[in-house]
């Protein structure tokens, strides 16, 4: 039973990114709440993040032991850190993990030594292009350690003997990820995936996490044609682990989105699935084209977020990636400048609203058969058509009715019709609702795969 219901966005305000909004402030609040936590691809920071997500939406948390084989990979040791610093000979912390978790290279080995500045420097990372920003670095799968600091702070370091300490552990443990599953009328699934391994970085990817949480909250109270699966997992190894443990079930995924970098002030960017013409690709393109703001559609490349895994040739899932400014394309990317100021409530609200519109179309898109296909039915008699007015123009609502009748031959979905007529999907959907009420349309089937009736 498709309807416009799902499109009604009760706490979002679609369109444009002008002005703050309630939902934007709520999403930003969740970003703010998660910001201080030191996340990595394993460990307690990740676990805490999942627990906080679980306070907002029903979340099943999975713990996968170190050493588990996941395709070509192995779940690594779990890394935890409590403190880290570099002290000068006066005992002052010149680099202090307590001030920013970006100061420590992710997965640094535990250590405690006294080093000369020259020795220390080999383990320091800074970015001369942005001398005030701390860069973000990791060393997964490499046994090393390091500190990151602003270029200016690095220049200020004097010859001295430095006490260097990383109070971390790297031991057998677990990789954690969370799943929020919202069953729908069918077992066909929409996958929403976001990576949860970055420490204090807001756009990449607390923006994605917080929007996913609010999408799940909004969807949880509505009737859903599709089942929705939200995966919160560390990048790469987390997605690979999830796919390895759910290999047999991925054929249920009919549409998917990787959410990342959704809070910056830039325009929306959609990176297509590997298939390039999946329904999700067409739906997102439709939403962006009718959004009234500038946007960019990019072809698939095998370099990006976890669409790399979902779109590997052995899976080739219909999963695209929605962003604003993509990874690597904004200077704040992977630096301390990707902070709470950089992500904006209005941009978060706009991204959220576009996701809801995408979901609305996925839910409502269907194919009808015109029950009066030979010539036009007499619409005037039914009160749903006035024809050309004095100005010689047909109102768009009546034109939409003619389009839906003309193309509802069993071969065109509502989305096909909206694209051919170059009309917003909602206009076409309302026309189809009107015609259905007058028994002029009968639904003949959903696009995008046979629906499987849900058990239980």
- What is the distance between the alpha carbons of residues 333 and 132, in angstroms, rounded to a whole number? 14
69 binds a second copy, rule: CB under 8 A: no
Helical axes 207-220 vs 22-34, angle rounded to 10°: 130
Taking the complex as a whole, the smallest distance from the CB of residue 154 to a second copy amounts, in Å, to 14
What is the per-residue burial (b if ≥16 Cβ within 10 Å, else e) of 190-227?
bbbbbbbbbbbbbbbbbbbbbbbbbbbebbeeeebbbb
User: Toward a second copy, which CB reaches closer, 32 or 236?
Assistant: 236
308 binds a second copy, rule: CB under 8 A: yes
- What is the distance between the alpha carbons of residues 193 and 305, in angstroms, rounded to a whole number? 10
Judged by CB under 8 A, which stretch of 88-96, 164-172, 218-226, 308-316 contacts a second copy? 308-316
67 binds a second copy, rule: CB under 8 A: no
Taking the complex as a whole, the smallest distance from the CB of residue 382 to a second copy amounts, in Å, to 10
> Which residues in 180-219 contact a second copy (CB under 8 A)?
none
User: Toward a second copy, which CB reaches closer, 237 or 262?
Assistant: 237
Classify strands 441-445 and 319-323 as parallel, antiparallel or unpaired. Answer: unpaired
Judged by CB under 8 A, which stretch of 155-163, 177-185, 202-210, 314-322 contacts a second copy? 314-322
Contact 13, 350 (CB under 8 A): no
Taking the complex as a whole, the smallest distance from the CB of residue 406 to a second copy amounts, in Å, to 4
Helical axes 279-289 vs 345-364, angle rounded to 10°: 130
Judged by CB under 8 A, which stretch of 115-123, 198-206, 208-216, 375-383 contacts a second copy? 375-383
66 binds a second copy, rule: CB under 8 A: no
Report DSSP letters for 355-395, one per residue. HHHHHHHHHH--EEEESS-SS---TGGGTS---S-TTS---
272 binds a second copy, rule: CB under 8 A: no
User: Toward a second copy, which CB reaches closer, 83 or 129?
Assistant: 129
445 binds a second copy, rule: CB under 8 A: no
Taking the complex as a whole, the smallest distance from the CB of residue 39 to a second copy amounts, in Å, to 18
68 binds a second copy, rule: CB under 8 A: no
CA of residue 231 relative to chain centroid, distance: 10
Judged by CB under 8 A, which stretch of 11-19, 202-210, 212-220, 327-335 contacts a second copy? 327-335
408 binds a second copy, rule: CB under 8 A: yes
| The only residue of 5, 65, 71, 223 in contact with a second copy, by rule CB under 8 A | 71
Q: Which residues have C-beta within 8 Å of that of residue 409, sequence separation ≥ 6?
A: 369, 370, 373
User: Toward a second copy, which CB reaches closer, 243 or 257?
Assistant: 243
Judged by CB under 8 A, which stretch of 84-92, 149-157, 167-175, 372-380 contacts a second copy? 372-380
> Which residues in 379-398 contact a second copy (CB under 8 A)?
380-381, 388, 390, 392-394
Q: Is 134 helix (H, G, I), strand (E, B) or coil?
A: coil
Contact 447, 365 (CB under 8 A): yes
User: Toward a second copy, which CB reaches closer, 75 or 164?
Assistant: 75
Q: How many CA atoms lie within 13 A of 222 on its CB side?
A: 24
Judged by CB under 8 A, which stretch of 176-184, 212-220, 297-305, 317-325 contacts a second copy? 297-305
Taking the complex as a whole, the smallest distance from the CB of residue 394 to a second copy amounts, in Å, to 6
Task: Tell me, by CB under 8 A, how many residues bind a second copy.
Answer: 55
- What is the distance between the alpha carbons of residues 7 and 9, in angstroms, rounded to a whole number? 6
Q: Is 92 helix (H, G, I), strand (E, B) or coil?
A: coil
Q: Which pair of tokens denotes residue 4?
A: 């416009």
CA of residue 60 relative to chain centroid, distance: 19
Taking the complex as a whole, the smallest distance from the CB of residue 424 to a second copy amounts, in Å, to 17
**For 246-389, where are the alpha helices, taking DSSP H only?**
279-289, 307-310, 345-364
399 binds a second copy, rule: CB under 8 A: yes
- What is the distance between the alpha carbons of residues 347 and 101, in angstroms, rounded to a whole number? 26
The residue among 341, 269, 334 whose CA lies nearest residue 307 is: 269
Q: Which residues bind a second copy (CB under 8 A)?
A: 70-73, 125, 127, 135, 141-142, 236, 239-240, 243-244, 247, 274, 301-303, 308-309, 311-316, 327-328, 333-334, 370, 372-378, 380-381, 388, 390, 392-394, 399, 402-403, 405-409, 421
């Amino acid at each position: 039973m498709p309807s416009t219901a799902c499109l009604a966005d009760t706490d979002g305000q679609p369109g444009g990114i002008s002005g703050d909004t309630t939902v934007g402030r709520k999403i930003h609040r969740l970003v703010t709440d998660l910001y201080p936590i030191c996340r990595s691809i394993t460990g307690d920071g990740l676990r805490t993040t999942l627990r906080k997500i679980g306070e907002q939406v029903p979340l099943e948390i999975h713990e996968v032991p170190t050493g588990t084989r996941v395709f070509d990979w192995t779940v690594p040791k779990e890394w935890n850190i409590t403190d880290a610093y570099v002290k000068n000979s006066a005992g002052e912390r010149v680099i202090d993990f307590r001030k920013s978790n970006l100061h420590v290279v992710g997965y640094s080995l535990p250590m405690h030594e006294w080093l000369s500045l020259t020795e220390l420097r080999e383990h320091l990372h800074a970015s001369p292009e942005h001398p005030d920003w701390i860069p973000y670095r990791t060393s997964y799968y490499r046994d090393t350690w390091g500190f990151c600091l602003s270029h200016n702070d690095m220049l200020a370091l004097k010859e001295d003997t430095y006490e260097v300490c990383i109070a971390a552990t790297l031991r057998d443990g677990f990789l954690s990820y969370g799943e929020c599953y919202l069953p729908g009328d069918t077992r066909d699934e929409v996958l929403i995936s976001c990576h949860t391994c970055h420490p204090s970085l807001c756009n990449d990817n607390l923006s994605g996490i917080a929007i996913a949480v609010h999408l799940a909250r909004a969807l949880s109270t509505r009737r859903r044609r599709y089942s929705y699966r939200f995966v919160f997992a560390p990048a790469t190894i987390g997605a690979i682990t999830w796919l390895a443990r759910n290999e047999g079930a991925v054929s249920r995924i009919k549409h998917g989105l990787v959410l990342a970098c959704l809070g910056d002030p830039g325009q929306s960017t959609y990176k297509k699935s590997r298939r390039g013409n999946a329904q999700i690709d067409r739906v997102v393109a439709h939403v962006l084209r009718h959004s009234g703001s500038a946007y960019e559609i990019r072809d698939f490349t095998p370099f990006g977020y976890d669409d790399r895994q979902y779109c590997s040739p052995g899976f080739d899932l219909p999963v695209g990636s929605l962003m604003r400014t993509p990874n690597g394309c904004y200077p704040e990317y992977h630096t301390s400048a990707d902070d709470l100021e950089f992500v904006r409530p209005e941009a978060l609200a706009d991204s959220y609203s576009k996701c809801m519109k995408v979901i609305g179309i996925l839910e409502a898109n269907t194919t009808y058969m015109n029950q009066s296909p030979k010539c036009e039915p007499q619409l005037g008699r039914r009160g749903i058509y006035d024809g050309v007015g004095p100005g010689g123009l047909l109102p768009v609502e009546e034109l939409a009715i003619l389009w839906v009748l003309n193309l509802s031959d069993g071969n065109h979905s509502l989305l096909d019709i909206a694209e051919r007529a170059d009309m917003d999907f909602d206009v076409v959907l309302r026309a189809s609702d009107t015609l259905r009420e007058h028994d002029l349309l009968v639904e003949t089937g959903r696009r995008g795969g046979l629906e499987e009736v849900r058990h239980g």
